[in-house]
A and B are shown apart, each in its own frame.
Chain A
């Protein structure tokens, strides 16, 4: 049964749970979460407080949007009914609870910013993995609840695949914790229900992540090609060969200029790779990479060019594009055709084009623009015109049914970005 309370009454009930100093209805605070237009923001300090807030909101008919450190509620899916809204911000839940240096895992609360988690791990000679620097500003919870397409490394896979276990609070106040094991065969992988669920099934409150030792050697390498197709063919062969770079990107001419600057020679297309691991292994991989990319028609660029790119790309502040890029997943066998379609459509409209997140099967094709007013939506429309399917979060009907089981009153707001 839904209780009926005034907004002040709701705020008082929530303040009883998190403490008055951890709830605010001040415009300066709630305006930061403008997309959802909440009347209050709460900052719970523990998984049990999260569960209690969710239960109270369900009882009171209040919708809850999840945010991590002020980010995450810019866009959301339509609410099922008009009702008061609060934002639950996990900002205070930023503790590292355990680092298991034997098993190479870290257990952390999900409000922690990835940059802070990474800094703490680095002090112990560990790292979350060779993921793009852009992820550093997100929270751990944000990356797990709404994994961005760029959270990938050919060497370590998707960032959220490194999640070995998690705790979740549901809208009814119940909580579950999945058992941490390297692999198991005791039913469906429940953790995967929540990964990518955008806060719609529950709030991920803690996560156990796989971590890695800081690599003994890191070797960035840059190759120039006469065309994007040849660079892609080289990168594809690399993925199939068993050489697994920590990072691998294929850039069109404009993007190469943007990321490499003056390479000392004209670069029509580039393939950038970062090898990492034990020195002896990296040296062998480097020789193989040279041979593979050379056979594809590539020419290695001077080492300083590669190192300069690598240093720049490791800074989370670097934003090479004026507007967020739009991307689509394309299988290798269709990439040639996709590139031709995109090129045809952009002949009179110079855009930056690159391939990333390459694996055995395909790559993400990205379009970016440095022109003012070139919005992400127009880039996405261009991908659609080229016969590609831009990334778009959507629940399958089955997942929607599960959502209704776990949250029948629709308390949890599904976040879009």
Chain B
């Protein structure tokens, strides 16, 4: 794990915090420090498997209830150079919420109130610690929706979404979270509470959004909200190749169509979906697990759990070979690529868009599969990421790499990343979060190595090769997971000389460098 120089807590820290917060909202207990010692970065599971579950424990965990309390904590930390790490749901997958230098973890989940909702003005203001599904439920009760549905919606917060530029599954219609935010309140690293609005020029909102807690702690946000959709419709297609599916998606978007859902699974992912039967609706990692091991369990029951793990581990340790084999077999086995599209909104508009989209996909050789696969996906759209442990227990690991590029660069990037990592890992991908000018690719990879040290090396090497390929092809190394600790080393290549401007921003907004140190290459 990337650990920067660890802060040594002053014995007085706890008592000084007591001047700001009541005792029940401060913890230095070992259980809390363990729980907050890692987020959902898959690499930390290698530590857990190695019986080292306390990856980066903070010295203190606090639960503030207002921007003023946070400002007071920031001022205290500034005086003593205490690292301060904002925490939402802890669902990030890049190590962005880990206290890699120790210090204080600031959990915002008690700041979860809806402050304003206006149907007339299409906006709502929430405190940043609200859990995603709670936010959506509160809007739904008023006939409104944010239109933001990340797979982590049950365990991620508004502040986390904003900090890491989250994307939801309906992003093609509603945009990413940065497209939805109209105004923010945040606490800077010098303790100032600032309010900014996207109506101002220059617009500060896009500087705080995506800063992953390194420039400011987001405490409140005003968001664009919509009326709940009156109608929703899904269609699924089988397209002959990834390139044909991308072409169909691109043409439709560039004609001005705005589906809510657009997902195209590559040949490998589609093949595994068919093999696992149930997997069409689930995420790539679940499908990978299903294809590699769960059939055994279904046939022989729980008694062969150990055998299943052995087989899974053996298969993953030869992931590169499997991957190459799959590449050669695909032309004979593949039934093409699965594409799912969904529309929502006013019924007659939906219908018109569905028909236009249908024509575009038939134009690239697609076969209509009806609404079944789309409905199935919708029903299981959050059933991802919770079932990694069998794979890890079998000695393997898995992770996801979500990148993006313009359409012109997209397929070369897809090919380059696959070539770069397929000798080391099983790799599959789907294309989602599509825009008129480009698209995101969500790679899922799985591999195994013997022992912790070799696993760490292999994991890092897969990421290194994959991200180098992305940079070489002119893509961006993250579309919606953020940078955190895991991609910090690649920020210089991603941004070049512009990284110096980020550092100047950091010097202005967090002059003592106390906010989430060691993240984002800052």
- Given A183-B176, A402-B504, A361-B497 contact (CB < 8 Å): no
B118, closest chain A residue (CB): A333
Within the complex, the shortest CB–CB distance from A144 to chain B, in Å, comes to 11
Stretch at the interface among B59-67, B274-282, B437-445: B437-445
Contact B479 A284 (CB under 8 A): no
Contact B207 A186 (CB under 8 A): no
Contact B194 A406 (CB under 8 A): no
Residue B478, interface by CB 8 Å: yes
Residue A28, interface by CB 8 Å: no
Residue A176, interface by CB 8 Å: yes
- Which residues of B491-522 are within 8 A (CB) of A? 491, 494-498, 500-502, 504-505, 507-509, 520
Note all chain B residues with C-beta closer than 8 A to A285.
349
Note all chain B residues with C-beta closer than 8 A to A176.
496-498, 500-501
- Given A182-B439, A333-B120, A190-B498 contact (CB < 8 Å): yes
Stretch at the interface among A36-44, A134-142, A194-202, A374-382: A194-202
Note all chain B residues with C-beta closer than 8 A to A393.
201
- Which residues of B66-118 are within 8 A (CB) of A? 118
Note all chain A residues with C-beta closer than 8 A to B502.
187-188, 190
Note all chain A residues with C-beta closer than 8 A to B482.
185-186
Overall SS of chain B's interface: mixed
1/0 per residue, CB under 8 A from B, across A170-209: the answer is 0000111111111111111110111111100100000000
Note all chain A residues with C-beta closer than 8 A to B208.
188
Residue B291, interface by CB 8 Å: no
Contact B438 A103 (CB under 8 A): yes
Contact A396 B437 (CB under 8 A): no
Contact B207 A192 (CB under 8 A): yes
Complex Cα–Cα for A180 and B494 (A) = 11
Complex Cα–Cα for A46 and B408 (A) = 26
| Nearest 6 CB-CB pairings of A with B | A196-B201, A182-B438, A360-B122, A103-B406, A185-B165, A181-B476
- Given A176-B501, A187-B483, A398-B194 contact (CB < 8 Å): yes
Contact B202 A193 (CB under 8 A): yes
Which of B121, B167, B500 is close to A333, meaning CB atoms less than 8 Å apart? B121
A-B contact pairs, 28 of them (CB 8 A): A100-B406, A103-B409, A104-B254, A147-B201, A155-B256, A179-B474, A183-B404, A183-B435, A184-B478, A185-B481, A186-B482, A186-B483, A189-B206, A190-B495, A196-B201, A198-B201, A210-B436, A213-B255, A240-B227, A242-B346, A276-B256, A277-B256, A281-B257, A281-B353, A285-B349, A288-B348, A332-B121, A395-B202
A195, closest chain B residue (CB): B202
Residue A331, interface by CB 8 Å: yes
Contact B224 A360 (CB under 8 A): yes
Complex Cα–Cα for A164 and B210 (A) = 16
- Which residues of B340-355 are within 8 A (CB) of A? 345-346, 348-349, 351-353, 355
Complex Cα–Cα for A243 and B502 (A) = 39
Complex Cα–Cα for A102 and B504 (A) = 36
1/0 per residue, CB under 8 A from B, across A377-399: the answer is 00000000000000001111011
Contact A182 B437 (CB under 8 A): yes
A404, closest chain B residue (CB): B508
- Given A179-B494, A195-B203, A241-B346, A185-B356 contact (CB < 8 Å): no
Note all chain A residues with C-beta closer than 8 A to B207.
188-189, 192-193
Which of A103, A179, A190, A243 is close to B476, meaning CB atoms less than 8 Å apart? A179
Q: Which among A179, A188, A278 has the highest number of chain B CB atoms within 10 Å? A: A188
Residue A349, interface by CB 8 Å: no
Residue B286, interface by CB 8 Å: no
Residue B250, interface by CB 8 Å: yes
Which of A177, A198, A276, A281 is close to B352, meaning CB atoms less than 8 Å apart? A281
- Which residues of B460-499 are within 8 A (CB) of A? 474-483, 487, 491, 494-498
Note all chain A residues with C-beta closer than 8 A to B264.
none
20 additional A-B pairs beyond A155-B256, A196-B203, beta carbons within 8 Å, are A103-B438, A179-B495, A182-B439, A185-B164, A186-B476, A187-B210, A187-B491, A188-B210, A193-B505, A194-B202, A210-B436, A278-B255, A284-B349, A360-B121, A360-B122, A361-B122, A361-B123, A362-B121, A395-B202, A399-B204
Within the complex, the shortest CB–CB distance from B122 to chain A, in Å, comes to 4
Complex Cα–Cα for A185 and B162 (A) = 10
B173, closest chain A residue (CB): A242
Contact A332 B352 (CB under 8 A): no
Within the complex, the shortest CB–CB distance from B480 to chain A, in Å, comes to 5
Contact A186 B121 (CB under 8 A): no
Complex Cα–Cα for A144 and B380 (A) = 43
Residue B407, interface by CB 8 Å: yes
Residue B209, interface by CB 8 Å: yes
Complex Cα–Cα for A331 and B479 (A) = 32
Residue B24, interface by CB 8 Å: no
Note all chain B residues with C-beta closer than 8 A to A102.
250, 406-408
Residue A371, interface by CB 8 Å: no
Within the complex, the shortest CB–CB distance from A31 to chain B, in Å, comes to 29
Residue B311, interface by CB 8 Å: no
Residue A247, interface by CB 8 Å: no
1/0 per residue, CB under 8 A from B, across A125-141: the answer is 00000000000000000
Note all chain B residues with C-beta closer than 8 A to A16.
none
Within the complex, the shortest CB–CB distance from B495 to chain A, in Å, comes to 7
Residue A411, interface by CB 8 Å: no
A240, closest chain B residue (CB): B227
Note all chain A residues with C-beta closer than 8 A to B401.
none
Contact A189 B356 (CB under 8 A): no
Within the complex, the shortest CB–CB distance from B260 to chain A, in Å, comes to 11
Note all chain A residues with C-beta closer than 8 A to B151.
none
Residue A85, interface by CB 8 Å: no
Complex Cα–Cα for A104 and B211 (A) = 29
Contact A361 B406 (CB under 8 A): no
B521, closest chain A residue (CB): A187
- Given A177-B498, A187-B495, A396-B196, A361-B212 contact (CB < 8 Å): no
Note all chain B residues with C-beta closer than 8 A to A105.
406, 437
Contact A280 B352 (CB under 8 A): yes
Contact B352 A284 (CB under 8 A): yes
Within the complex, the shortest CB–CB distance from A4 to chain B, in Å, comes to 28
1/0 per residue, CB under 8 A from A, across B182-221: the answer is 1000001000001010011111101111111001000000
Note all chain A residues with C-beta closer than 8 A to B224.
360-361
Note all chain B residues with C-beta closer than 8 A to A402.
504-505, 508
- Given A104-B437, A181-B405, A405-B507, A242-B209 contact (CB < 8 Å): no
- Given A240-B122, A332-B120, A396-B200, A186-B496 contact (CB < 8 Å): no
Within the complex, the shortest CB–CB distance from B264 to chain A, in Å, comes to 15
Note all chain A residues with C-beta closer than 8 A to B176.
183
Residue B226, interface by CB 8 Å: yes
